[in-house]
Structure 1
């Protein structure tokens, strides 16, 4: 264990969820930030991503800094066998927390996209997330406690022109988390949707989006973990709250058009080019 002074919310994480957590999309962005926060709290980690080198470097740093155990799983969650593979890998570990932070985003005009990539995004953002939530949800219910963190987005609260399918996948995540929060609570299992606004990570760059003011992954990580077990949805940061609440009273069609205008401004430099794609390593 490190000598970092823990806050009450960090102590609660270990007391509530036990000694091991699984973090997907752990090699970069929000997943990486959450992994470091969990390590500070003393949780052992199973780090899941496609980049073996990045995961191994993280594992070395986390073990040295915090004295925790770290398991590295190089895995592409777009594969149909991914959930089964991760379930088998973690069978003998006392997992108490799942953080499904792996993500795949596209931006630009829908008809200019490649169907193969859109199907791959569906597998990563929805299919694998569904399988992991089901598998670990059953494990957590059996042990009588656990937590599930699903990464939604403010784009999931309405349609989003110029990021149409990505927003649709986040709407799936949002509604699934809201329902699981109610269903699993009597079984001792917490579920939360974290719906950040624009976040300053490599995601936007790889998706071909240009953003101004944005959250840091650390801000999203701390707000999410603090809210786990206390809220069904968290909107990390002032900007996320402002964007959601300012649109909440408008009719849905108006929200779609406004958000479409925002996204069009972030992707207009793509006109005449290939669709932007962001994939967590």
Structure 2
């Protein structure tokens, strides 16, 4: 089905909402009349966004500061969401690391898996029973074109997005006929703070500027895809080419090519 209609009681949840795609998703949903639960670590940015969206779109916007990489904090959030009427869940929070896996900080790699994989899984499990009981709900999972092929020197991120991509499309097929939908958002290069958080700003130079898409474009297409009950949303020409290459070229070729590319910036 399409997006459930917004009501005074239900909410759209957006994780990673303090910047980039998450903030843009929140804007798109608020413009459609959804009241929001905005989740991220940065309290000041969340509160600023919540205030602006409430004022501009006349919706309720709750700022919920939470480190989704922390198991206890995540469990608390999941428990609260399970008890609420959640119409839309945007599992968007995530980060990447670059470099030889053997040289990277094991704690940070573990945190990446907790955020990019475990949090997606747990929050989906938290809201899904309620959605099924109401026979209405929409789940958006932010995967990546990186999840379509091996990613040497970007190993944990590529693996985590392979999980997100497959999880989203598997869940979608499982939910057929229930009134609940799941859409995969699989962008390529997007103009956000992503590479700064990854601490590898040189990644920005790998792709010509004209091939990057804005967070606003990604969010607009993602929410339209949810409304149209689309299986997968791939914003931008470059991302579409990446997707075709990742899905249909021999994986050893993709692995060798990406290994050569990422070695230049790590």
Residue by residue over 1:1-42, the C-alpha shift from the partner in whole angstroms, topping out at 9 and shown as x without a partner, is: xxxxxxxxxxx6453898410001000111111001111111
Could you say what secondary structure the match of 1:185 adopts? coil
Contact 1:196 1:236 in 2 (8 A): yes
Taking structure 1 as reference, are residues 51 and 16 closer, same or farther at Cα in structure 2, changes over 3 Å only?
closer
Residue by residue over 1:60-83, the C-alpha shift from the partner in whole angstroms, topping out at 9 and shown as x without a partner, is: 101110110011111111111234
Contact 1:13 1:41 in 2 (8 A): no
The answer to whether the aligner puts 1:41 opposite 2:32 as a matched pair is yes
Contact 1:16 1:146 in 2 (8 A): no
Aligned residue number for residue 52 of structure 1: 43
* CA distance, structure 2, for counterparts of residue 87 and residue 254 of structure 1: 40
1:264 deviates by: 2.8
The answer to whether the aligner puts 1:245 opposite 2:235 as a matched pair is no
Taking structure 1 as reference, are residues 78 and 249 closer, same or farther at Cα in structure 2, changes over 3 Å only?
closer
The answer to whether the aligner puts 1:15 opposite 2:5 as a matched pair is yes
Residue by residue over 1:139-187, the C-alpha shift from the partner in whole angstroms, topping out at 9 and shown as x without a partner, is: 1111101011111010101110110111100001111001000111221
Aligned residue number for residue 98 of structure 1: 89
Structure 1 unaligned blocks of 5 or more:
1-11, 271-281
* CA distance, structure 2, for counterparts of residue 234 and residue 254 of structure 1: 25
Taking structure 1 as reference, are residues 32 and 183 closer, same or farther at Cα in structure 2, changes over 3 Å only?
same
Aligned residue number for residue 226 of structure 1: 224
* CA distance, structure 2, for counterparts of residue 71 and residue 96 of structure 1: 15
1:46 deviates by: 0.2
The answer to whether the aligner puts 1:67 opposite 2:67 as a matched pair is no
Aligned residue number for residue 184 of structure 1: 175
* CA distance, structure 2, for counterparts of residue 219 and residue 106 of structure 1: 25
Task: Tell me the TM-score normalised to structure 2 length.
Answer: 0.90
Aligned residue number for residue 277 of structure 1: none
Residue by residue over 1:83-138, the C-alpha shift from the partner in whole angstroms, topping out at 9 and shown as x without a partner, is: 43113434564211000111021111211101011111111111111001111111
What count of residue pairs does the alignment treat as equivalent? Answer: 256
* CA distance, structure 2, for counterparts of residue 91 and residue 258 of structure 1: 43
Contact 1:14 1:42 in 2 (8 A): no
Matches within 5 A, 1:1-281: 13=3, 15=5, 19-90=10-81, 93-207=84-198, 208-210=200-202, 211=204, 212-213=208-209, 214-228=212-226, 229-265=228-264, 267=265, 270=266
* CA distance, structure 1, for counterparts of residue 63 and residue 80 of structure 2: 10
Structure 2 unaligned blocks of 5 or more:
none
Taking structure 1 as reference, are residues 156 and 247 closer, same or farther at Cα in structure 2, changes over 3 Å only?
closer
Contact 2:151 2:259 in 1 (8 A): yes
Contact 1:20 1:96 in 2 (8 A): yes
1:255 deviates by: 1.5
Could you say what secondary structure the match of 2:242 adopts? helix
* CA distance, structure 2, for counterparts of residue 253 and residue 117 of structure 1: 27
